[in-house]
Structure 1
Amino acid sequence: MKVVTHSGTFHADDVFAFAILREALGTFDFARTRETALIETADLVFDVGGIYDVARGRYDHHMRDLPRRPDGTPYSSVGLIWRDFGRNALPKLIPGIDEDLLDAVWQDIDQGFILAIDQADNGVASVNQGHLSLLIEAFNPTWASEQAYDDAFLEAADFARGILVRACQQAHAEAEAQSSVLAAAGKASDPRIIVLNHKLPWEKAVFEGGLRDLLFIIYPNEDSTSWYCRTVPPEPSSFGQRLSLPEAWRGLQEKEFSQVAGIADGVFCHPSGFICGARSQGSAIRLAEKAIAAGH
């Protein structure tokens, strides 16, 4: 297979598009050129050529009638390549990824990572200093450099792959966490309390998974020496609580907290009433049950 993009100065969209294609397609012949004859004979062309035609393997976006996302946002070359080749690239970027999580990870990367490059490349969003797109463009040779543009492009692509791998790992961990939370919810004897075996991000699962009855999350700290009883906020990223911990517990610690809360191994209750802790899972669950009884 022969793959072509444009020569000369490069941007984040063509660099990341190439990095994705290397994972999705494996080995292929690659050329950076603007020569029409070479472009016409290629099997896949992106970010050059003036044609968008998926059936012909043409993925340019620099025409008046350019391809757009369903919401109207213009695609850049990386958005188009990720749309059609991203799912095939993911098993290489995240070895061993569960097939059931592919779509969730693909979507997360598309909306939280690729979209920002599409917007920057098309001038839809402002690009401030430190933006990923500018970091990639910094790999272009300066006027005083003797480095060839093609060599600089490959160097930028290796850098881009590292970023993409880390972004995919983060998205994968988030998808696994969401799956774990929903599985725990399905096993819960009381829909108002979920017990997790690990400390992990749970808020997205609560709100996207429709866990409307959930009031408390129970989970261990990093070294499992204590367990937290955490209130659930009424909406994402809110500091409020669907049900606050009892006023009488707030600000207390250790023995005093244990006596007031009625458990043997209490650790603390935060003054704002959003989290408390105990040294055992069973006590943390009892704290949630006591809080529910006191609040209803």
Structure 2
Amino acid sequence: RVVTFLPRVRPQILNPFPMAAAAGATSPKRLRVYSSAAGDADSSNGAGNGRRVGTHNGSFHCDEALGCFLIRLTSQFAGADVVRTRDSQILDSLEAVLDVGGVYDPSRHRYDHHQKGFNEVFGHGFNTKLSSAGLVYKHFGKEIIAKELQLNEEHEDVHRVYLAIYKSFVEALDAIDNGINQYDTEQTPKYVNNTHLSSRVGRLNPDWTDPDQSPEKENAAFQQAMALAGSEFMEV
């Protein structure tokens, strides 16, 4: 009896958003991340064309890394610079602010979720409190999907993908950032899972024992975090 072994061929996984992947590229020419208004003087020579998106400096999390990646895929904020600061005067001067500032006001592109009384959810049957990533996705997700699928935002396929990506990817990031358990139980987990995206982004923060605690190193790490979170979003 002759047995023929056929080589296993890994199916090619097509990126559904090739244009978005290019727009989210994190080369220095396309993305500038800095921690103060010092970068404003030469903003006309940077990637942002004057548009700036703010988030906090210091330790970062997956939600603002993904939120910054996503908002730069929109027509309004394509290629915007990212300013990392907690200075309220600088934040007030920016076109959009994520995960800092204590304000949720989409009319002014303010997307924080830490303030008292915040209980915004995605809707459509989802009840998990949103993080900054979920807020950006809620307001811009259809635009991003429609543009890359080359369909109208109201097309049923856009709506279907919009809900599917929230369910399969974004909701978990919202829950983890807001400290919401996956199961309704008070029992101690049998194991610790540090392999999920939020943990991997968190590990990109500079180690406190590193002698180089400069803003430049922290911002470079945040840029890596944006690339990691964004690349996984593109693969959903």
Q: What range describes the TM-score normalised by the shorter chain of this pair?
A: 0.5 to 0.7
Structure 2 residue aligned with 1:164: 233
Structure 2 residue aligned with 1:221: none
Equivalence map 1:1-296=2 (5 Å): 1-24=51-74, 25-69=77-121, 70=123, 71-90=126-145, 95-99=148-152, 100=155, 101-125=157-181, 128-145=193-210, 146=212, 148-167=217-236
1:44-78 C-alpha deviation (Å, 9 max, x unpaired): 11100011111121111001111321454211000
- Cα 1:41–1:73 change in 2 (3 A) is same
* Partner Cα distance (1:144, 1:89) in 2: 39
- Aligned 8 A contact 1:6 1:32 in 2: yes
- Aligned 8 A contact 2:197 2:229 in 1: no
* Partner Cα distance (2:159, 2:194) in 1: 32
Asked which structure has the greater RCO (Cα within 8 Å, sep 6+), the reply is 2
Q: What amino acid is aligned across from residue 158 of structure 1 in structure 2?
A: A
Q: What amino acid is aligned across from residue 83 of structure 2 in structure 1?
A: A
Question: Helix, strand or coil for the counterpart of 2:57?
Answer: coil
- Aligned 8 A contact 2:99 2:112 in 1: yes
- Aligned 8 A contact 2:53 2:68 in 1: no
Question: Helix, strand or coil for the counterpart of 1:150?
Answer: helix
* Partner Cα distance (2:101, 2:113) in 1: 9
- Cα 1:128–1:68 change in 2 (3 A) is farther
Question: Helix, strand or coil for the counterpart of 2:193?
Answer: coil
- Cα 1:15–1:149 change in 2 (3 A) is same
- Aligned 8 A contact 1:52 1:67 in 2: no
Q: Among the aligned pairs, what percent are the same residue?
A: 32
Q: What amino acid is aligned across from residue 160 of structure 1 in structure 2?
A: A
What is the count of residue pairs matched by the alignment?
A: 165
Larger helix percent: 1
With the length of structure 1 as denominator, give the TM-score of the two structures.
0.52
* Partner Cα distance (1:7, 1:143) in 2: 15
* Partner Cα distance (2:68, 2:199) in 1: 17
Greater displacement, 158-167 / 74-83: 158-167
Q: What amino acid is aligned across from residue 133 of structure 1 in structure 2?
A: S
* Partner Cα distance (1:112, 1:129) in 2: 18
Q: What amino acid is aligned across from residue 172 of structure 2 in structure 1?
A: A
Question: Helix, strand or coil for the counterpart of 2:72?
Answer: helix
Question: Helix, strand or coil for the counterpart of 2:53?
Answer: strand
Alignment RMSD (CA, Å): 1.9
Q: What amino acid is aligned across from residue 219 of structure 2 in structure 1?
A: D
* Partner Cα distance (1:102, 1:161) in 2: 19
Report the CA distance between 1:98 and its aligned residue. 4.3
Report the CA distance between 1:3 and its aligned residue. 1.1
With the length of structure 2 as denominator, give the TM-score of the two structures.
0.65
* Partner Cα distance (1:139, 1:29) in 2: 20
- Cα 1:62–1:91 change in 2 (3 A) is same
